[in-house]
Amino acid sequence: MGNPTKVYNGTTTAALASSNYTISGFINSQSATINPSALINYAQADVGTNIGMTATLTPSAYTPTGSTNLSNYVLATSATGPGTITQAPLFITGVSANNKVYDTTPSATLATGAAALAGVIAADTGNVTLSVNSNTGTFSQSNVGSGLPVTPTASDFAISGSKAGDYSLQPMTLAANITPAPVSITGVTANNKPYDGTTSATLSMAGAGLSGVYASDNSNVNLVNTSATANFATTNVGNNLPVTASGFTLNGTQSGNYALNQPAGLAANITPAQITATIIGNPTKVYDSTTSTTLTASNYNLTGFVSGQGASVPQSASANYANPNAGT
Protein backbone atom coordinates (compact mmCIF):
# COMPACT_ATOMS: atom_id res chain seq x y z
CA MET A 1 0.00 0.00 0.00
CA GLY A 2 3.04 2.34 -0.34
CA ASN A 3 3.18 3.59 3.30
CA PRO A 4 0.64 6.40 2.78
CA THR A 5 0.63 9.36 5.17
CA LYS A 6 -2.11 11.42 6.72
CA VAL A 7 -2.20 14.25 9.24
CA TYR A 8 -3.63 13.36 12.64
CA ASN A 9 -7.36 14.09 12.88
CA GLY A 10 -8.43 11.87 15.74
CA THR A 11 -9.80 9.10 13.50
CA THR A 12 -8.41 5.88 12.00
CA THR A 13 -9.99 6.40 8.59
CA ALA A 14 -8.24 7.73 5.52
CA ALA A 15 -8.77 8.20 1.82
CA LEU A 16 -6.07 6.72 -0.39
CA ALA A 17 -5.31 7.36 -4.01
CA SER A 18 -5.29 4.52 -6.52
CA SER A 19 -1.51 4.84 -6.63
CA ASN A 20 -1.34 3.74 -2.99
CA TYR A 21 -2.40 0.20 -3.93
CA THR A 22 -0.46 -2.64 -5.53
CA ILE A 23 -2.57 -5.41 -7.06
CA SER A 24 -0.97 -8.70 -8.09
CA GLY A 25 -2.33 -11.87 -9.63
CA PHE A 26 -3.47 -10.63 -13.02
CA ILE A 27 -2.24 -12.55 -16.09
CA ASN A 28 -0.59 -11.11 -19.15
CA SER A 29 -1.23 -7.40 -19.45
CA GLN A 30 -4.51 -7.38 -17.60
CA SER A 31 -4.89 -5.18 -14.53
CA ALA A 32 -7.21 -3.07 -12.41
CA THR A 33 -7.10 -0.15 -10.05
CA ILE A 34 -8.69 0.43 -6.66
CA ASN A 35 -11.09 3.32 -6.33
CA PRO A 36 -10.06 6.04 -3.82
CA SER A 37 -13.42 5.55 -2.15
CA ALA A 38 -12.38 2.20 -0.70
CA LEU A 39 -12.68 2.25 3.10
CA ILE A 40 -9.28 2.48 4.81
CA ASN A 41 -8.53 2.09 8.51
CA TYR A 42 -5.30 2.63 10.41
CA ALA A 43 -4.70 0.34 13.37
CA GLN A 44 -4.55 3.44 15.61
CA ALA A 45 -5.65 7.05 15.51
CA ASP A 46 -2.54 8.52 17.14
CA VAL A 47 0.64 9.72 15.47
CA GLY A 48 3.12 7.07 14.44
CA THR A 49 5.03 5.37 11.62
CA ASN A 50 4.64 1.93 10.09
CA ILE A 51 1.14 1.71 11.48
CA GLY A 52 -0.83 -1.26 10.22
CA MET A 53 -3.51 -0.37 7.68
CA THR A 54 -6.42 -2.36 6.32
CA ALA A 55 -8.60 -1.57 3.32
CA THR A 56 -11.98 -3.29 2.96
CA LEU A 57 -12.44 -4.03 -0.74
CA THR A 58 -15.71 -4.80 -2.47
CA PRO A 59 -16.07 -5.66 -6.15
CA SER A 60 -17.22 -2.12 -6.77
CA ALA A 61 -13.87 -0.88 -5.48
CA TYR A 62 -12.11 -2.39 -8.49
CA THR A 63 -11.94 -0.64 -11.84
CA PRO A 64 -10.65 -2.89 -14.66
CA THR A 65 -8.26 -1.50 -17.21
CA GLY A 66 -8.35 -2.25 -20.90
CA SER A 67 -10.05 -5.59 -21.77
CA THR A 68 -9.69 -7.03 -18.28
CA ASN A 69 -12.75 -9.06 -17.19
CA LEU A 70 -12.86 -9.10 -13.41
CA SER A 71 -15.25 -12.07 -13.38
CA ASN A 72 -12.26 -14.24 -14.32
CA TYR A 73 -10.63 -13.50 -10.99
CA VAL A 74 -11.32 -14.00 -7.34
CA LEU A 75 -10.93 -10.48 -6.04
CA ALA A 76 -9.19 -9.75 -2.76
CA THR A 77 -11.60 -8.49 -0.11
CA SER A 78 -8.96 -6.57 1.81
CA ALA A 79 -5.55 -4.96 1.45
CA THR A 80 -2.96 -4.40 4.16
CA GLY A 81 0.22 -2.44 4.59
CA PRO A 82 2.00 0.11 6.75
CA GLY A 83 1.08 3.80 6.97
CA THR A 84 2.11 6.97 8.77
CA ILE A 85 0.13 9.52 10.78
CA THR A 86 1.93 12.85 11.25
CA GLN A 87 1.34 15.48 13.90
CA ALA A 88 -1.44 17.99 13.33
CA PRO A 89 -0.35 21.63 13.37
CA LEU A 90 -1.31 23.69 16.42
CA PHE A 91 -1.34 27.46 16.40
CA ILE A 92 -1.08 29.89 19.30
CA THR A 93 -3.48 32.82 19.27
CA GLY A 94 -3.89 35.83 21.52
CA VAL A 95 -0.17 36.63 21.74
CA SER A 96 1.39 39.87 20.55
CA ALA A 97 4.80 41.52 20.78
CA ASN A 98 5.06 44.75 22.76
CA ASN A 99 6.48 47.93 21.30
CA LYS A 100 9.51 49.29 23.14
CA VAL A 101 11.76 52.31 23.35
CA TYR A 102 15.25 51.87 21.88
CA ASP A 103 17.69 50.42 24.45
CA THR A 104 20.57 49.18 22.21
CA THR A 105 19.42 45.53 22.48
CA PRO A 106 17.07 43.36 20.37
CA SER A 107 15.30 41.99 23.46
CA ALA A 108 11.51 41.92 23.27
CA THR A 109 8.60 41.17 25.57
CA LEU A 110 5.33 39.50 24.69
CA ALA A 111 1.75 40.06 25.81
CA THR A 112 0.61 36.52 26.65
CA GLY A 113 -2.41 37.07 28.88
CA ALA A 114 -4.83 35.87 26.19
CA ALA A 115 -2.67 33.02 24.83
CA ALA A 116 -4.74 30.07 23.55
CA LEU A 117 -4.50 27.11 21.19
CA ALA A 118 -6.16 26.85 17.79
CA GLY A 119 -6.32 23.57 15.91
CA VAL A 120 -7.16 21.08 18.69
CA ILE A 121 -9.92 18.79 17.47
CA ALA A 122 -13.07 18.70 19.58
CA ALA A 123 -12.49 15.16 20.84
CA ASP A 124 -9.11 16.19 22.30
CA THR A 125 -10.33 19.26 24.16
CA GLY A 126 -8.96 19.08 27.68
CA ASN A 127 -6.24 16.64 26.69
CA VAL A 128 -3.94 19.22 25.09
CA THR A 129 -2.89 22.11 27.33
CA LEU A 130 -0.82 25.19 26.55
CA SER A 131 1.84 26.28 29.04
CA VAL A 132 3.28 29.83 28.95
CA ASN A 133 6.74 29.62 30.49
CA SER A 134 7.99 33.15 29.81
CA ASN A 135 7.12 36.22 27.79
CA THR A 136 10.38 37.06 26.06
CA GLY A 137 11.48 37.31 22.47
CA THR A 138 13.99 38.85 20.10
CA PHE A 139 13.56 41.65 17.58
CA SER A 140 15.17 41.17 14.18
CA GLN A 141 17.32 44.23 14.90
CA SER A 142 18.24 46.48 17.80
CA ASN A 143 17.75 49.78 15.94
CA VAL A 144 14.59 51.85 15.65
CA GLY A 145 12.00 50.60 13.17
CA SER A 146 8.31 49.83 12.59
CA GLY A 147 6.71 46.44 12.05
CA LEU A 148 9.91 44.62 13.00
CA PRO A 149 9.71 40.81 13.14
CA VAL A 150 9.82 39.41 16.68
CA THR A 151 10.76 35.78 17.37
CA PRO A 152 9.49 34.34 20.68
CA THR A 153 12.01 32.49 22.84
CA ALA A 154 11.89 28.76 22.03
CA SER A 155 10.99 27.82 25.59
CA ASP A 156 8.20 30.38 25.93
CA PHE A 157 5.40 27.98 25.02
CA ALA A 158 4.85 24.24 25.37
CA ILE A 159 1.98 21.80 25.14
CA SER A 160 1.20 18.92 27.46
CA GLY A 161 -1.56 16.40 28.02
CA SER A 162 -2.38 12.87 26.92
CA LYS A 163 -2.87 13.97 23.32
CA ALA A 164 -0.02 16.47 23.10
CA GLY A 165 2.11 14.03 21.09
CA ASP A 166 -0.41 14.16 18.25
CA TYR A 167 0.21 17.87 17.71
CA SER A 168 3.07 20.14 16.73
CA LEU A 169 3.24 23.80 17.80
CA GLN A 170 3.79 26.07 14.82
CA PRO A 171 6.06 29.13 14.85
CA MET A 172 4.33 32.44 15.46
CA THR A 173 4.70 35.48 13.24
CA LEU A 174 4.87 38.54 15.49
CA ALA A 175 5.87 42.15 14.87
CA ALA A 176 6.31 45.31 16.92
CA ASN A 177 7.99 48.72 16.86
CA ILE A 178 11.17 50.08 18.40
CA THR A 179 10.71 53.82 18.94
CA PRO A 180 13.46 56.42 19.43
CA ALA A 181 14.80 56.97 22.93
CA PRO A 182 14.37 60.54 24.22
CA VAL A 183 17.55 62.55 24.68
CA SER A 184 17.89 65.98 26.31
CA ILE A 185 20.32 68.87 25.89
CA THR A 186 22.30 70.02 28.90
CA GLY A 187 24.66 72.93 29.56
CA VAL A 188 22.79 75.53 27.47
CA THR A 189 21.77 78.86 28.99
CA ALA A 190 20.10 81.99 27.65
CA ASN A 191 21.99 85.30 27.74
CA ASN A 192 20.63 88.57 29.15
CA LYS A 193 20.37 91.45 26.69
CA PRO A 194 19.47 95.15 26.63
CA TYR A 195 16.11 96.04 25.15
CA ASP A 196 16.24 96.13 21.33
CA GLY A 197 12.57 95.88 20.38
CA THR A 198 12.82 92.25 19.22
CA THR A 199 12.35 88.82 20.81
CA SER A 200 15.67 87.52 19.50
CA ALA A 201 17.88 85.88 22.11
CA THR A 202 21.35 84.40 22.18
CA LEU A 203 22.49 81.23 23.88
CA SER A 204 25.61 80.25 25.74
CA MET A 205 26.55 76.81 24.41
CA ALA A 206 30.14 76.32 25.52
CA GLY A 207 29.07 73.52 27.88
CA ALA A 208 26.36 72.01 25.66
CA GLY A 209 26.00 68.24 25.92
CA LEU A 210 23.53 65.36 25.72
CA SER A 211 21.73 63.43 28.44
CA GLY A 212 20.08 60.09 27.70
CA VAL A 213 22.50 58.60 25.16
CA TYR A 214 23.58 55.06 26.02
CA ALA A 215 27.28 54.71 26.79
CA SER A 216 27.84 52.36 23.86
CA ASP A 217 26.48 55.03 21.51
CA ASN A 218 28.34 58.03 22.92
CA SER A 219 30.84 58.29 20.07
CA ASN A 220 28.13 57.78 17.44
CA VAL A 221 25.61 60.44 18.53
CA ASN A 222 26.60 64.11 18.30
CA LEU A 223 24.81 67.37 19.06
CA VAL A 224 24.66 69.90 16.21
CA ASN A 225 23.91 73.51 17.18
CA THR A 226 24.93 75.42 14.06
CA SER A 227 21.28 76.17 13.22
CA ALA A 228 20.09 76.76 16.76
CA THR A 229 18.00 79.88 17.43
CA ALA A 230 16.30 81.35 20.50
CA ASN A 231 13.57 83.85 21.25
CA PHE A 232 12.23 85.64 24.32
CA ALA A 233 8.51 85.34 25.06
CA THR A 234 8.19 89.15 24.87
CA THR A 235 10.04 92.14 23.46
CA ASN A 236 9.70 94.22 26.62
CA VAL A 237 12.01 94.64 29.59
CA GLY A 238 11.68 92.05 32.35
CA ASN A 239 13.47 89.56 34.57
CA ASN A 240 13.52 85.77 34.19
CA LEU A 241 11.65 85.96 30.92
CA PRO A 242 11.02 82.55 29.25
CA VAL A 243 13.30 81.80 26.30
CA THR A 244 12.43 79.19 23.70
CA ALA A 245 15.27 77.48 21.85
CA SER A 246 15.02 75.44 18.65
CA GLY A 247 17.08 74.17 15.75
CA PHE A 248 19.32 71.73 17.62
CA THR A 249 19.81 68.44 15.75
CA LEU A 250 21.71 65.17 16.04
CA ASN A 251 24.11 63.42 13.72
CA GLY A 252 26.15 60.24 13.85
CA THR A 253 25.59 56.62 12.87
CA GLN A 254 23.29 55.95 15.85
CA SER A 255 21.48 59.30 15.89
CA GLY A 256 18.39 57.79 14.25
CA ASN A 257 17.75 55.82 17.42
CA TYR A 258 17.16 58.97 19.46
CA ALA A 259 14.53 61.73 19.60
CA LEU A 260 16.08 65.06 20.58
CA ASN A 261 14.22 67.30 23.01
CA GLN A 262 15.02 70.97 22.51
CA PRO A 263 16.33 72.85 25.60
CA ALA A 264 13.58 73.63 28.10
CA GLY A 265 13.25 75.91 31.11
CA LEU A 266 15.50 78.63 29.75
CA ALA A 267 15.09 82.19 31.04
CA ALA A 268 17.00 85.47 30.92
CA ASN A 269 16.56 89.21 31.46
CA ILE A 270 15.88 92.07 29.07
CA THR A 271 17.35 95.21 30.61
CA PRO A 272 16.39 98.80 29.69
CA ALA A 273 18.25 100.30 26.74
CA GLN A 274 20.47 103.30 27.56
CA ILE A 275 19.26 106.62 26.11
CA THR A 276 21.79 109.43 25.61
CA ALA A 277 20.71 113.08 25.52
CA THR A 278 22.83 115.92 24.07
CA ILE A 279 22.17 119.68 23.78
CA ILE A 280 22.30 120.95 20.21
CA GLY A 281 21.74 124.21 18.36
CA ASN A 282 24.11 126.30 20.54
CA PRO A 283 21.27 127.90 22.65
CA THR A 284 21.83 131.61 23.54
CA LYS A 285 20.66 134.00 26.27
CA VAL A 286 21.45 137.63 27.28
CA TYR A 287 23.66 138.00 30.36
CA ASP A 288 21.57 138.26 33.54
CA SER A 289 24.18 137.25 36.16
CA THR A 290 22.58 133.76 36.55
CA THR A 291 23.37 130.39 35.01
CA SER A 292 19.75 129.32 34.53
CA THR A 293 17.96 129.16 31.19
CA THR A 294 15.04 127.38 29.56
CA LEU A 295 15.56 125.13 26.53
CA THR A 296 13.03 124.13 23.88
CA ALA A 297 12.53 120.62 22.50
CA SER A 298 14.59 121.52 19.47
CA ASN A 299 17.62 122.04 21.74
CA TYR A 300 17.79 118.31 22.61
CA ASN A 301 18.98 115.28 20.65
CA LEU A 302 18.10 111.84 22.06
CA THR A 303 19.95 108.73 20.80
CA GLY A 304 19.70 105.02 21.70
CA PHE A 305 16.10 104.28 20.66
CA VAL A 306 15.42 101.25 18.50
CA SER A 307 14.19 101.80 14.98
CA GLY A 308 10.75 103.40 14.87
CA GLN A 309 10.77 104.47 18.52
CA GLY A 310 11.73 107.81 20.13
CA ALA A 311 10.87 110.57 22.63
CA SER A 312 11.19 114.35 23.07
CA VAL A 313 12.02 116.65 26.00
CA PRO A 314 9.25 119.13 27.08
CA GLN A 315 9.88 122.84 26.28
CA SER A 316 9.73 123.71 30.00
CA ALA A 317 12.87 121.76 30.76
CA SER A 318 15.39 123.93 32.56
CA ALA A 319 19.14 124.04 32.05
CA ASN A 320 22.18 125.65 33.61
CA TYR A 321 25.28 127.17 32.07
CA ALA A 322 28.60 126.29 33.63
CA ASN A 323 29.03 129.96 34.66
CA PRO A 324 26.91 133.16 34.51
CA ASN A 325 29.33 135.25 32.45
CA ALA A 326 29.08 136.03 28.79
CA GLY A 327 30.86 133.59 26.52
CA THR A 328 30.55 131.19 23.61
Predicted TM-score of the model (pTM) = 0.78
* Greatest CA separation for the chain: 164
CA neighbours within 13 Å on the CB side: how many for 13? 6
CB 275 within 8 A of CB 302: yes
- Say if residue 272 is exposed, middle or buried (CB neighbours under 10 Å; 0-12, 13-18, 19+): exposed
How far is the C-alpha of 10 from the C-alpha of 129, rounded, in Å? Answer: 16
Q: What would the pLDDT profile of 298-327 be if each residue is shown by its tens digit?
A: 888 999 999 999 988 877 778 899 999 998
Range 119-144 average pLDDT: 97
Closest CA to 98 of 142, 140, 131, 139: 139
φ and ψ of 70, to 5 deg: -65, -20
Contacts of 181 (CB under 8 A, 6+ apart): 101, 102, 103, 212, 214, 257, 258, 259
DSSP string, 48-69: EEEEEEEEE--GGGEEEETT--
The CA distance from 299 to 279, in Å, is 6
Q: How far is CA 260 from CA 160, 183, 206, in A?
A: 49, 5, 19
Q: Is the pLDDT of residue 2 over 70?
A: no
Mean pLDDT score, 253-282: 95
d(CA 155, CA 157): 6
Query: Is there a contact between 202 and 269 (Cβ–Cβ < 8 Å)?
Result: no
pLDDT tens track for 27-62: 999 999 998 878 899 999 999 999 999 999 999 999
Indicate the residue type of 76.
Answer: A
φ and ψ of 176, to 5 deg: -160, 180
Q: Say what the pLDDT of residue 1 is.
A: 62
pLDDT class of 295 with cuts at 50, 70, 90? confident
Residues 6+ apart with CB under 8 A from 255: 220, 221, 222
